[in-house]
Structures are given as C-alpha cells and as structure tokens.
Amino acid sequence: MILREAVEALHIKGKKVIEVEGNTKIDKDRMLHQKVTDIRSWGKHFLICFKDFTLRIHFMMFGSYRINERKDTAVRLRLGFSGAELNFYTCSVKLLEGNANDIYDWSKDIMSPHWKPTQALKTLKEHPEMLVCDALLDQNIFAGSGNIIKNEVLFRTRIHPLSKIGELPLAKLKELIKETRNYSFDFLEWKKEFTLKQHWQAYTKKICPRCDIPFKKEHLGKGKRRSFYCNHCQRLYI
DNA sequence: TCTCATGTTTAGGT
DNA sequence: GACCTAAACATGAG
C-alpha cells in the first residue's frame, strides 16, 4: 500500500520503461519499451501492469525498495522511466501472463475498497476445523494479513490462537473479520509514522497489558509461527 | 558474535 | 494426491 501510493505519485502510468537492470532470472527485457497500464496491489503483492502481462513483486521477509535512489547492494530489478527510477532488492519477482483482473480476486484483499467481509465469512465457514491462527495467515482468506496482524487481532478480539473457526459464535467470527481490516488500517498509519512497534500490544510482548500476567509465547499452527497471547483474557473456543 | 524472524515457494519425504 | 518438513532467499534487530 505504502509503496503503491508512492509509485502512483510518480505518475508513471502511461509511461514507457526505458531501462531494465538487475539480477532477477525473469525475462526482464520483456518490459523494455512497454507502457505501464496500471499500478496496483493485492495483499502483499505489488503489481505493475502492462498490456498483456503483469510484473509481481513480493518482498518476502527481507525485501526493500528505493525510489529515485540506489542502495549499495545488488539490485534484483531496476525499472527506469523518464524522470523516475524504481529499485527493488532481495524480493521475489515474477511476470504473470494475462490481465491482473483475471488473476486476482480483489474482494479478498483486506485493504481494498473491493474487500468483501462476506467473502471471508463464506470461506471461513468452509473450514470449520481450521485454527484461527492459521486462518489469519491464509492469503486466500485474508490477503495482506501477516504474523503481526494475526497476533494483534487475536489480542484485540480476545480469541485464543488455537480456537477452531467452526467453534466461534457467528458474532465473534464477524468481529474477527472486521477487526482484521480495522487493524490493517491502523498498521498502515503507524507504519507511515514509524510508530508501528510502539503500538504493539501483543506481538513480541512479555506481559499482558490488560491483566499484567505473563504472555504465552509459542510457535503455533501449520507454519509454526510465533504466537503471543494471554491465557487469561483470550478465550479458547474448542 | 550469534540467533532469529513482518513470508512464500519449492523440493523432498512419508 | 494429501500432508508434512526443510531449505532457500539474505537483512537487520536484539
């Protein structure tokens, strides 16, 4: 989102790529002299659309970018335009064939204006055995959510990470969905202000700010990702 | 200096 | 095929 907004402000839409560089294995020359048709994002994917294909950038854990400046480290992909330059580092780069609208379901992107909570609800109901800690990391349900968001949303909604989706009362399930989007917007604002870390209530925390007892820290769910939670105030639905 | 982690894909095993 | 695990990526925080 932050990157997309920054790139939109460059007004490269309609402009042609005049320089490509970098150590990516993709056929980057395909973008040379091609006109950018759109700048988009879906979850953690950053997309630069061309007429017949789309460039997809995913920053994984350690990716970074620079706009109109360069880092000393090896560039994975550089796109040059007249008056602007984009540099991407240590990221996953891919060319997707066809139109992005045919590839991406925008209603699953938790920050999109096209986001549909009913869509998330429907998919969740199809997986009653799924653990909430897994659901909040599932990009097919909550595209854009990640491990920080998972921990913070479960703390805010007072749901234990090992709760089963099928055991949550409907109202609680709806609250979970709503709060995932809510927190994502807070996340975005705090990230822009460089105050994200200060606002963490659960993630990396040792003590529950609500009841002052020690948090549990465990690696839970399919991906064994870090979970910080309070055994006292986060209820286990099982 | 060392370990771990905002994430995903892929290769391999059972 | 379903399901799991480890590896790879490679930087920066604590």
The reply to whether the CB atom of residue A139 sits less than 7 A from any atom in nucleic acid chain B is yes
Q: What is the pLDDT of residue A61?
A: 85
Under 8 Å between Cβ of A227 and A133: yes
Strand order in the sheet with A38-42: A38-42, A45-49, A53-58, A92-97
Closest Cα partner for A220 from A177, A175, A163?
Answer: A163
Nearest nucleotide to A91, CA against C1' atoms: C9
Under 8 Å between Cβ of A114 and A107: yes
pLDDT tier, A229 (very low <50, low <70, confident <90, very high otherwise): very high
pLDDT tier, A25 (very low <50, low <70, confident <90, very high otherwise): confident
Please name the residue whose C-alpha is nearest to the C1' of nucleotide C12.
Answer: A62
pLDDT tier, A74 (very low <50, low <70, confident <90, very high otherwise): confident
The reply to whether the CB atom of residue A74 sits less than 7 A from any atom in nucleic acid chain B is no
Which residues 158-217 of chain A have a CB under 7 Å from nucleic chain B? 191, 196, 203
Q: Which nucleotides of strand C lie within 7 A of protein CB?
A: 4-5, 9-12, 14
Within 8 A by CB and 6+ apart from A46, the residues are A3, A4, A7, A56, A57, A58, A59
Q: Name the strand (E) or helix (H) holding A57.
A: strand A53-58
pLDDT tier, A113 (very low <50, low <70, confident <90, very high otherwise): very high
